[in-house]
Every structure is written in structure tokens, then in C-alpha cells.
Structure 1
Amino acid sequence: MAQQKSKAELLEMRRALYTHFDALIADLSEQQMQMPGVTDGWSVKDHIAHLTFWERVNLLEMLKAIEQGISWTDPGFESTEEVRDKTNEQVYLQNKDRPLADVLAEFQATHQQVLGYLEKLNEGALKTPYEWLGGRSIITWLSEPGGHYEEHEQYIRDWLAWQSSAKE
């Protein structure tokens, strides 16, 4: 079993993850960000709103509970694939007509809040196994490969590659 990362390594990884994703979307025009079709009818903006929602309701709320010394209660948005799909559809509908600037600002603010909580929590709290994470620690959970950012980044990269090949 691999040694668990340190708090400093986790913070570095989270910053790099965000910076990498931000670099991917930074060169896109407003039109590209709002063009449907990345996955089904979703645009890049919709993927960003989706990531923001899940970071806020799962990770941020979990970190707040740890800071307060209380048990986190899963809101049940991921209880089954059907519930998760319905939640994702609701998030999409709530955000699809929001201005791009608002979605990007919330994405940035949520990222900063997550980093703030990760910085405030001591290493012991981040390395403690939690029942709601299947006995994993925050550090282990957030260090697992193939995370949410990577998944959506790949959708966007595939769409951009398809866009580029369609122009040729």
C-alpha cells in the first residue's frame, strides 16, 4: 500500500489540478465555453457549473463538518446512479442560463474555499479515516487517480479535439 500523502502534498496537488483545468479553459472564447455538445447538450460552462456543485455539496460541506468536529451526513445526491443522474440534470437546468461570468466566479470562489478549509485543517484530521468515505481519509480520497476534475477535463479535451478535426 502506498504511503499517504502529506497535507502539503495534497494542497500542492489540489492547486495543480485547478491550475491545469483553468489553463484548459483559459484559451476558450466565451462562445466556445457556451457551445453545447461537449457531452450531450452540455457546454464547457455546464461542466464547470457541475464541478462547482459537487465540490460545494460534497467536499466543501465535508471539510466544514470536519472542522466543526461533527459527522458529515451525505445529502444523498449520489445514493444511486438514478438519483445522481437526476441531480446532475437539476444542476444543469439551474445553471444553463446563468451568465458565464457568474459560473466562472463561483467556480473560482468554491476552489478558494476548498483550499482555505484544507489549509485550516490539521494533518491529523486530513489523515483520519472517515466512515462516510468508506474508511478512507480526505487525503486518500482526494489523491485517488481519475477524479472528478480529470473526468470532466477529458470530456472537454475530447470535444476540443473533435472540434479541431471537424475544421480540417
Structure 2
Amino acid sequence: MATLASAAEQLEATRAELLSLLASLDEAALDQPGRVDGWSIKNVLAHLAAWEEWVVQVLPQRMASGTTPDNFRERATNEDRFNALEVAERAELTPGEQLMELERVRAELLSYVRSLPAAEAQRRNPWPEWPGTLPEYLLEALRDHEAEHLGTLRAALAARE
């Protein structure tokens, strides 16, 4: 069973892989439209930050009451609409600012989950839609999501070489 510590390590490893992949790219390359399925790399980073921020905002209530706030549930019901709105909201950010936002959101997430008592984090079925533990959720919802986009970014960058 995953622990908060092991989940945090895996989240950090996936993020390090993502940042390493992008380290050699300048801001113009990160901001070039259409590099990844119609999005710029910066847009992909905005998408990742938006979903992680959604998790950061709903986790306290989910862990305390087992519910997801209605306004957050509604926002995530239509994923395509959510993605379009959230990426558009971050359009004015430079690629460097988008990277900083990505790191800020991750720091908030880790700060929150590390503040939880271990027993609470290991509780099964903390909200009705999730049968596992919080660490398992973090791995499936965030690590796997980021890894999926990491693979897409790798393929897009390899195709451009």
C-alpha cells in the first residue's frame, strides 16, 4: 500500500522527469502553438497546473467531510470545457511564470498532505467516488496524469527533431 511519503517521492520523481525534459527548451519553444495536439507546451503545463490546483482546492473538504464542493464538481463535469477555460485563464503567463505556477501548486499540495495525520491519509474510501487511500489517489490522479502528458510531450518533441 502506498504511503504519503512514497506518493510524494513518486510525484517528485515524475515532476523531475518533466522538468528535465523541458530544461533544454527556451521560452519560444515552450510557447510555440500547436506543438502538442493543438496546444503549446506551456498550455500542457497550464492544464497540469489547473487539474492539480483543483485537487488542492477540493482535498480539504473531501478529507474532512467526504464530499466534493458542488461548484468544484460542476467545474470538472465537462473536462474539455474545464481544460479550455483553465488554459485560457493562464494564457497571459509566460512559460517561465507557468512553470512557477506548476511548482507553486505542487508545493501547496505537498504541504497540505504532509500536514495530515498518517491514519487519516491511509483511511480507505475517504469520499464516495474514491475507494482507495489518499496516497493511491494522488498517484492515480496526479502522477499518472502527469506521466501521460510527459509521454505525449516526449513524442511531440521527438517528432520535431
Which bracket does the TM-score occupy, shorter chain normalised? Answer: 0.7 to 0.9
Give the letter for the 1:56 counterpart: E
Report % sequence identity: 23
Deviation at residue 95 of structure 1 after TM alignment: 1.9
Change beyond 3 A, Cα 1:147–1:100 = same
Q: What pairs up with 1:2-81 in 2 under 5 angstroms?
A: 4-57=1-54, 59-65=55-61, 69-74=64-69, 75-76=72-73, 77-79=75-77
Once residues 11 and 91 of structure 1 are traced to their aligned partners in structure 2, the CA distance between those partners, rounded to angstroms, is 25
Once residues 151 and 117 of structure 1 are traced to their aligned partners in structure 2, the CA distance between those partners, rounded to angstroms, is 24
Match among 91, 94, 106 for residue 89 of structure 2: 94
Greater shift, 21-30 or 141-150, is seen at: 141-150
Corresponding position of 2:137: 141
- Unaligned 5+ runs, structure 2: none
Give the letter for the 2:35 counterpart: V
Corresponding position of 2:104: 109
Once residues 8 and 100 of structure 1 are traced to their aligned partners in structure 2, the CA distance between those partners, rounded to angstroms, is 30
Deviation at residue 70 of structure 1 after TM alignment: 3.2
Corresponding position of 1:125: 120
Deviation at residue 94 of structure 1 after TM alignment: 1.7
TM-score normalised by the chain length of structure 1: 0.82
**SS state of the match for residue 17, structure 2?**
helix
TM-score normalised by the chain length of structure 2: 0.85
Question: Is the 8 Å Cα contact of residues 49 and 103 (structure 1) preserved in structure 2?
Answer: yes
Give the letter for the 1:140 counterpart: E
Deviation at residue 119 of structure 1 after TM alignment: 1.4
4+ long deviations beyond 3 Å? none
Question: Is the 8 Å Cα contact of residues 5 and 140 (structure 1) preserved in structure 2?
Answer: yes
Question: Is the 8 Å Cα contact of residues 4 and 135 (structure 2) preserved in structure 1?
Answer: yes
Provide Cα deviations, 1:8-65, integer angstroms capped at 9, x if missing partner.
21121121121121111122111110111233321110011110010001x2123333
Give the letter for the 1:139 counterpart: P
Deviation at residue 66 of structure 1 after TM alignment: 5.3
C-alpha RMSD over aligned residues: 2.1
How many equivalent residue pairs?
Answer: 156
Give the letter for the 1:88 counterpart: N
- Unaligned 5+ runs, structure 1: none
